[in-house]
Amino acid sequence: MKNTLYIFILLLPFFTSAQNKKTHLRDGNNLYEDSLFNDAEMKYRKSLEKDQDYFTASYNLADAIYKQERFEESSSLFDGLIDNAKTKDEKAKLYHNLGNSLFKQQKLKESIQSYKNALKNNPKDEETRHNLALAQKMLQQEENQQEEQEKKDEENKEEQEENKEEENKEEQEKNKQNKENQEQKQEEQQPQEKEDMSKEDAEKMLEALQQQEKELQEKMQKKKVKGKKVKVLKDW
């Protein structure tokens, strides 16, 4: 009798703890069904305080957090539970929900891989297959848009470089013209210098002067010879 009572006393806290964690889990599920996800989260956390390895409470907690659109946090929770899953069905659901959390974060490549892992564990899951096709389509559209944007950016870059090159060319031409105009203006303002006369030109000029002087002397001589005509008296 003593031993039986002793055993009962020892086991009583265990049964009480197990009962409490399930009670909190049921309360959380009821709140979840009423879309009171924040309140449901609190109940699931209380259930885990009684048993931190309670898989169902952890799974439902991740679901409640997902419903509150805290997708990065739910991704971490779903991913952390995968190794604790005991059946393929549990793994498939975890990978599916992980894929949804990643999809909501626009992490399309990662979500596609998660959906593929889900289908490996449950090939008949049509909802996962649908989500996989949607993620693949969106990824293709995103890559096409990115490719078009990169092409457009490259074209804009080439156009800008051409415009810049043309502007530089025009600026250089303008500067060259301004320089030439300035040099021409300076030349016009400077006094003209006589060019040095060559020896040949000097000799020709000297000969011309001598010739002019000679002609002038001859003219002067002719003027001296000519005089007033004298009448001759006739001798009658």
Is the pLDDT reported for residue 139 higher than 50?
yes
Could you give the CA distance from residue 85 to residue 87 in angstroms, rounded to a whole number? 6
Higher pLDDT, 20 or 11: 20
Read off the pLDDT band of 186 (50, 70, 90): confident
**Would you say residue 211 lies in a domain?**
no
95 and 146 in a single domain? The answer is yes
DSSP 36-102: -HHHHHHHHHHHHHH-TT-HHHHHHHHHHHHHTT-HHHHHHHHHHHGGG--SHHHHHHHHHHHHHHH
Instruction: Find, among 82, 126, 118, the residue nearest to 100 by Cα.
Output: 118
- Which residue, of 142, 160, 178, is where some domain finishes? 160
**Would you say residue 122 lies in a domain?**
yes
60 and 98 in a single domain? The answer is no
Q: How far is CA 226 from CA 10, 93, 216, 221, 233, in A?
A: 174, 146, 16, 9, 21
Higher pLDDT, 122 or 202: 122
42 and 97 in a single domain? The answer is no
Say how many CA atoms lie within 13 Å of 95 toward its Cβ.
26
Is the pLDDT reported for residue 81 higher than 90?
yes
Mean per-residue pLDDT, 132-143: 96
95 and 152 in a single domain? The answer is yes
Quote the domain boundaries for residue 111: 88-160
93 and 59 in a single domain? The answer is no
pLDDT of residue 136: 97
Measured in residues, the chain has a length of 236
Could you give the CA distance from residue 103 to residue 112 in angstroms, rounded to a whole number? 8
Q: Which has the minimum average pLDDT: 1-10, 99-108, 128-137, 222-231? A: 1-10
Mean per-residue pLDDT, 145-169: 86
Q: Which has the minimum average pLDDT: 1-10, 165-174, 187-196? A: 1-10
Read off the pLDDT band of 17 (50, 70, 90): low
Instruction: Find, among 147, 80, 79, 68, the residue nearest to 107 by Cα.
Output: 79
Say how many CA atoms lie within 13 Å of 197 toward its Cβ.
8
pLDDT of residue 229: 41
> What average pLDDT is seen over the chain?
83
Number of domains in the chain: 2
**Would you say residue 45 lies in a domain?**
yes
142 and 94 in a single domain? The answer is yes
**Would you say residue 173 lies in a domain?**
no
Question: What pTM value is reported for the model?
Answer: 0.61
- Which residue, of 160, 176, 199, is where some domain finishes? 160
Instruction: Find, among 106, 130, 128, 133, the residue nearest to 117 by Cα.
Output: 128
Is the pLDDT reported for residue 159 higher than 50?
yes
CATH number reported for the structural domain that contains residue 146 in this entry: 1.25.40.10
Is the pLDDT reported for residue 55 higher than 70?
yes
Neighbours of 82 (CB within 10 A): 14
**Would you say residue 137 lies in a domain?**
yes
**Would you say residue 50 lies in a domain?**
yes
- Which residue, of 160, 180, 206, is where some domain finishes? 160
Read off the pLDDT band of 197 (50, 70, 90): low
56 and 106 in a single domain? The answer is no
**Would you say residue 185 lies in a domain?**
no
**Would you say residue 42 lies in a domain?**
yes
